[in-house]
Amino acid sequence: MTAPSPNKIVGEPVDRIDGQLKVTGGAHYPSDVGYPDMAHAVLVQSTIASGTIRAIDTADALAAPGVFAVITHENVPELVHEVMTPFGPSPRFPLKDNRIVHHGQHVAVVVAETLEEARAASRLVRVEYDETAAILDIDDPRAQVTTNPYEMDVERGDVEKALASADIVYDERFHTAPVTNNPLGPFAAVARWDDGRLLIHSSTQWPVMERHVLAGIFSLDESAVQVLVPYLGGGFGAGLRTWPHTVLTALAARILDRPVKLVVPRPQMFTSVGHRPETVQHLRIGATSDGRLVAIDHEGTSTTGAEESNLEPITVVTREAYDCPNLATHDRLVALNIPNPGAMRAPGHAEGSFALESAMDELSHRLGIDPLELRLRNFAEVNPQTRLPWSSNALRECYRVGAERFGWHHRNAEPGSLRDGEWLIGHGMAAVSYSWWATPCRATLSLGRDGGARLRAAATDIGTGTYTIAAQIVAELLGLEVDQVHVEIGDSALPLAPPSGGSGLAVAFGGAIEDAAAHLVRAFLDLVRDDDRSPLRGRDPDEVIATNGRLQLSDDPGVGESYTAILERHGKDELSAEGETDPTPKAEGMTMSPAGAFAAQFAEVRVHEELGLLKVTRLVAAVDAGRVLNEKTARSQVAGGMVMAIGMTQFEETAFDPATGRITNATFGDYLIPVSADIPDLDVVFVGEPDRYNPMGIKGIGEVGITCAPAAIANAVYHATGKRIRSLPITIEELL
Amino acid sequence: MGGASVVGRTTVTVQVNGQERRLELDSRVTLLDMLREHLELTGTKKGCDQGACGACTVLLDGRRVVSCLTLAAQCDGREVTTIEGLAPGGELHPLQEAFIRHDGFQCGFCTAGQIMSAVALLAEERAGSDAEIREFMSGNLCRCGAYPNIVAAIREIAQQGGGMP
Ligand code: FES
Ligand code: FES
């Protein structure tokens, strides 16, 4: 370890270092990649939800101008179908046989010289089906149900006994609609093969996992696969898995022996890269009349695709939320004939916390206790599940600062008490503790003769600001300017890194950079250990600080020299060092509970009395994000989650036709995501201290923004109208 | 020939970012695909190809259009400005700078469309208030939710007199 850094770069609202590229159109996303000689692929999808393909006629498509190949289950070469990942086996390969398990399943890929030709020919593929009854309803008794599917269910104390003796028992059910990630950048893959090696530009949030899956499927050594994604047009979880279209693009390129590009058109984005599943939840809460929670029982059911797996832990959010001695959480997974869901920003948590935090609000009204006060009375001083002290917890501060900024305590608590003409006004709040998830991370850091540093890791920046925060951390630790740091990410060939996902990348990557920087400083000192001409001869890292492009003694700043002077004298172009970290909490021997971000959000809504129109007019989020790495990008990230939460609460619903399983609103014209006019100014404020669990004190913040806003808004709707809406999205019909 | 129909070719001459380009194209090619696939101007993005997201917004004879719903053939003899043409010579347009300063993007995929739309918005003199900016920028989706920052960037330039050089 070097002495503490004197440089103040981490935390500063530095402009994104990739900003210039993004505002000039110079950032290259997977769908921008082209090669001479590249062919274009288009997917043909099933028009039934369940059954078998009786016949597939590709003759006309093959005869159409420009067409090179049509790949179907009848001519697909042998591949390995299941590769294990942290999210379960890789998604079901749709061409593995003639069976159809959901509407919109890929049944053929048409590859042609131009996109127009491929598209035209795709319409000429004729498929005949033998249809069987599809299972489409989450309550269908024929559906296969898995209980405790993630082995995350917990039980503490005796819930039934505590409920039986509680002063008040709350017992309600909730529903959340399926919604679709819809990153603005359509997912794309551009694949080419050279001497048995696969190079693929691909929309993924996890290049090394994509490499692992593709290597498995094509029976290759991992070193023979390279995945590139320097920029991604958003993902929100959709890029955490290797979806079949990516496999099919690589396959087409191998069959044709030329580069192939496939861009998933917007309507197919609804069926090809996952979505947030529908949930139904049942919450029972027992409390004393003075507002002490004595029991919580939370059951959450979500949907998954037939023959698929999905990780949607709905009730996890509940087990650590409040200090409640008796608690049981159970998840259930129901398999339907729908496109496989997948992760979408705060998977499980966004839905689970909507139910829990709506319930807390409802309970507070039944008890006649202010909703904020009820939460404070049940504040979890320690992790209520493990009883370990939190590595940090500023949730009280979130409550206090958020309430102050919002003006919470000035409201009249009576529902329906505030109005402005025909508009009813309501205030609501909700809170969350959002833990992060990450995997081991490595990084390589080098410093060259020009005085600049180069950081390399297979991390990604999906809009989260990874490029910028990584450069800031390096600059701070090595004593450089941000623009002296070159960050290379988005390439699976670089040192292993976790995904942009699970709010964990900053924690893991930050730790790896810190380790690499410490090693690099040591490498410089090792180089001058016996160097008579160096003022740093024989010095140890803990005596030295890095600042202004040089290393110097912390207690005698005049004694030191620049990196470039050392490199020049020793005839070296650069020095390099590796760093690594494993942030995964250990199963044994933990002395603290690694905390994620905490947040409290406060919403103001207006509901038109006669028309049922709902407008969110104010949203305040106070977030304990540990050590904020970049005030500007951090605020944007939380605000972005709040915008998506407004979508989930007010507009978004992936509509499955109950008879056919077809998604009836699979366009941006029909599936409504928030537009500028729907979004008020968003107030995001950070509170708290650096976290104690990881060396940089970081907590992930990619998902905390979406987790409590839906309940805060629904609670505000109740306060405005007296109507308790336990189902998302909140529609006009419910408010009329 | 099965069910395939014979497809026409078309020749277009179009000024793109001040340069005259002459292309012979499949007549089904949209302005968006012409820019991206034939002129390698990939700064303009395809978010939906259905006219519903604004990611493909460019200026056609100075007015904003969604290039995915504009056929290349319709642009014969006309002038197209894309994001790549906004900063000739490398000096950023004031709106581009403001987007960076206000963090008006995250993934950046909607950004070219947002900026081109904002350039037109200022020329249309429709950026008089936040409400107006919000309303007339609502054809440009941003799934990352950068809206408040986008509004702030446009507001700043509008208040400075519209960013006209
Ligand atoms: S791509 Fe043209 S509007 Fe979406
Ligand atoms: S910045 Fe990602 S869609 Fe706008």
Share of chain B above pLDDT 70, in %: 94
**Kind and range of the H or E element at A603?**
strand A597-608
Closest chain A residue to B146, measured at CA: A640
- Residue A153, domain member (yes or no): no
Residues A193-219: tens digit of each pLDDT: 999 999 999 999 999 999 999 999 999
Edge-to-edge strands of the sheet including A574-581?
A: A485-488, A453-456, A441-448, A574-581
Final residue belonging to a domain, choices A241, A272, A303: A272
d(CA B2, CA A121): 10
Task: Give the pLDDT mean for B78-95.
Answer: 93
Q: Are residues A381 and A477 in the same domain?
A: no
A56 and A192 inside one domain: yes
For residue B125, is pLDDT > 70?
A: yes
How far, in Å, from the CA of A499 to the mean position of ligand 1?
A: 29
- Note down the domain range covering A511: 439-581
Residue type, B78: R
Distance CA A725, CA A711 (A): 10
CA angle A306, A309, A312 (to 5 degrees): 115
Residues in chain A: 736
Q: Is residue A24 part of a domain?
A: no
Give the one of B7, B133, B143 whose C-beta lies nearest to A234's C-beta: B143
Regarding whether A423 and A466 lie in a shared domain, the answer is no
Spell out which residues of chain A touch residue B94, defining contact as CB-CB under 8 Å.
none
Same-domain status, A389 and A514: no
Shared domain check, A199 and A117: yes
Q: What is the CATH number of the domain that holds A342?
A: 3.30.365.10
Q: Do residues A200 and A228 lie in contact, with contact meaning Cβ atoms separated by under 8 Å? A: yes
Q: Which two tokens stand for residue B51?
A: 């006219």
Does one domain contain both A287 and A251?
Answer: no
Residue carrying the six token digits 């990352």: B144
Specify the pLDDT at position A230. 98
Give the nearest partner residue to B50 out of A29, A266, A463, using CB atoms. A266
Chain A residues within an 8 Å CB radius of B151: 676
Q: Report the distance separating Cα A134 and Cα A100, nearest Å.
A: 10
Q: Which residue has the higher pLDDT, B165 or A486?
A: A486
Ligand showing the shortest atom-to-Cα distance for residue B58: 1
CA distance B24 to A348: 51
In tens, the pLDDT along A483-540 reads 999 999 999 999 999 999 888 899 999 999 999 999 999 999 999 999 999 999 999 9
A56 in a domain, yes or no? yes
pLDDT in tens, A409-457: 988 999 999 999 999 999 999 998 888 888 899 999 999 999 999 999 9
SS3 A420: strand
User: Of chain A residues 19-78, which have a CB less than 8 A from chain B?
Assistant: 19-29, 31-32, 34, 59-61, 63-65
The pLDDT confidence band at residue B84, using thresholds 50, 70 and 90, is very high
B47 lines ligand 1 (CB under 6 A): yes
* Residues of chain A contacting residue B43, judged by C-beta atoms under 8 Å apart: 24-26
Query: Is the distance from the beta carbon of residue B92 to the nearest atom of ligand 1 less than 6 Å?
Result: no
Q: Cα angle at A287 between A281 and A292, to 5 degrees?
A: 120
Residue A289 lies in a domain: yes
Nearest chain B alpha carbon to A265 = B48
Residue where a domain terminates, one of A223, A244, A272: A272
Comparing CB atoms, the residue among B41, B100, B137 nearest residue A20 is B100
Q: Residue A51: which CATH number?
A: 3.90.1170.50
What is the rounded average pLDDT of the residues A333-337? 98
Which helix H or strand E contains A642, and what residues bound it?
Answer: helix A631-646
Q: Domain for residue A25, yes or no?
A: no
* Cα B40 to Cα A376, B29, B93, B97, B113, distances in angstroms: 58, 14, 22, 24, 17
CA A182, A184, A185: angle at the middle one, nearest 5?
110
DSSP E strand stretches across B27-90:
57-60, 63-66, 79-81
Contact A630/A12 with Cβ under 8 angstroms?
A: yes
Q: How far apart are CA A596 and CA A189, in angstroms?
A: 33
Q: How far is the CA of A533 from the centre of ligand 2 (A)?
A: 53
- Quote the DSSP letter at residue A650: I
Return d(Cα B25, Cα B72) in angstroms, integer.
8
pLDDT of residue A436: 82
pLDDT number for residue A583: 86
pLDDT digit string, tens, across residues A37-50: 999 999 999 999 99
Residue A81 class from Cβ within 10 Å (0-12 exposed, 13-18 middle, 19+ buried)? middle
- Which residue minimizes the CA distance to atom 3 of ligand 1? B51
Report pLDDT for B146.
Answer: 98
Q: How confident is the model at residue B165 (pLDDT cuts 50, 70, 90)?
A: very low
Out of A20, A115, A668, name the one closest to residue B33 (CB).
A115
A572-581 pLDDT, tens digit per residue, is 999 999 999 9
| Tens-place pLDDT, residues A271-299 | 999 999 999 999 999 999 999 999 999 99
Chain B residue numbers with beta carbons less than 8 Å from the beta carbon of A641 are: 145
Atom of ligand 1 nearest to the CA of B48: 4
Judge if the beta carbon of residue B65 lies within 6 A of ligand 1. no
Q: What share of chain B is helix, strand, coil (3-state, %, to 5)?
A: 40, 20, 45
CA-CA distance, A154 to A138, in Å (whole number)?
A: 23
Which of A392, A474, A466, A403 minimizes the C-alpha distance to A433? A392
- The residue among A511, A546, A581 that closes a domain is A581
- Confidence class of residue B1 from pLDDT cuts 50, 70 and 90? very low
Q: Which of A351, A414, A703, A733 is catalytic?
A: A703
Same domain, A453 and A546: yes
For residue A146, being part of any structural domain is answered with no
A449: nearest Cα among A573, A267, A536: A573
Distances (CA, A) of A506 to A418, A594, A595, A705: 42, 14, 14, 16
∠ CA B25-B28-B30, nearest 5°, is: 85
Give the pLDDT score at A589. Answer: 86
Instruction: Enumerate the H helices of B73-146 as residue ranges.
Output: 94-101, 111-123, 130-136
Cβ of A667 within 8 Å of Cβ of B48? The answer is yes
Does the annotation mark A703 as catalytic? yes
- Residue A51 one-letter amino acid: G
What does the pLDDT look like over A614-643, one tens digit per residue?
999 999 999 999 999 999 999 999 999 999
My answer on whether A318 and A251 are in the same domain is: no
A11 DSSP β-pair partners = A630
Indicate if A679 and A730 belong to the same structural domain: yes
Question: What are the pLDDT digits (tens) for A637-672?
Answer: 999 999 999 999 999 999 999 999 999 999 999 999
Other CB atoms within 10 A of residue B4 CB:
18
pLDDT at A548: 96
Same domain, A52 and A122: yes
What are the structural domains of chain B?
Answer: 9-86 (3.10.20.30), 88-159 (1.10.150.120)
Please name which of A228, A134, A211, A138 lies closest in space to residue A177, comparing C-alpha atoms. Answer: A138
pTM (2 d.p.): 0.97
> Could you tell me how many residues make up chain B?
165
Nearest ligand by distance to the CA of A183:
2
Q: Say whether A618 sits in a helix, a strand or coil.
A: strand
- What tokens appear for A4 in the block? 């503490």
User: Which strands make up the sheet holding B9-16, listed edge to edge?
Assistant: B19-26, B9-16, B79-81, B57-60, B63-66
Q: Which residues on neighbouring strands pair with residue B19, listed in sequence order?
A: B16
Would the CA dihedral through A159, A144, A92, A118 be positive or negative? negative
Please indicate, yes or no, if residue A687 is contained in any of the structural domains: yes
Q: Is residue A20 part of a domain?
A: no
Which residue shows structure tokens 């928030």?
A: A674
Which pLDDT score is estimated for A305? Answer: 97
C-alpha distances in angstroms, B49 versus A469, A670, B61, B67?
A: 34, 14, 21, 9
Taking CA–CA distances from A468, the nearest residue in chain B reads B106
d(CA B147, CA B140): 10
Reply yes or no on whether the pLDDT at A62 is more than 90: yes
pLDDT of residue B5: 53
High-pLDDT (> 90) share of chain A, %? 94
Half-sphere exposure of B139 (CA within 13 A, CB side): 18
Tens of pLDDT, residue by residue over A2-35, are: 566 788 999 999 999 999 999 999 999 999 999 9
Examine the domain organization and report whether A447 and A575 are in the same domain. Answer: yes
The DSSP symbol for A503 reads: T
Q: How many angstroms does the Cα of residue A436 sit away from the middle of ligand 1?
A: 35
Ligand 2 pocket test target in B46, B106, B149 with most atoms within 8 Å of CB = B106
Cα distance between residue B87 and residue B83, in whole Å: 8
DSSP-derived secondary structure letter, A559: E
Count CB pairs under 8 A between chains A and B. Answer: 199
- Which of these, A479, A464, A514, A517, lies nearest to A638 by C-alpha position? A464
Q: Which two tokens stand for residue A124?
A: 């000429």
pLDDT average, residue stretch A88-101? 96
Closest approach of B105 to chain A, Cα-based (Å): 8
What is the model's pLDDT at position A3?
64
How many angstroms away from the CA of A374 is the closest CA of chain B? 32
Measured distance CA(B132)–CA(B150) in Å, rounded: 13
Are A328 and A370 members of one domain? Answer: yes
Using a CB-CB distance cutoff of 8 angstroms, which residues of chain B are in contact with residue A26? 43
B89: phi > 0 → left, psi -120 to 50 → alpha, else beta; which?
A: left
Domains of chain A: total: 3
Full DSSP string of A47-82: SSSSEEEEEEE-HHHHHSTTEEEEEETTTPPP----
From A24, A31, A463, residue closest to B144, measured CB to CB? A463
Distances (CA, A) of A631 to A10, A628, B102: 9, 6, 12
d(CA A398, CA A408): 13
Q: How far is A89 from chain B (nearest CA, A)?
A: 28
Secondary structure string (H, E, C) spanning A718-730: HHHHCCCCCEECC
Give the Cα separation of A362 and A649 in Å (integer): 18
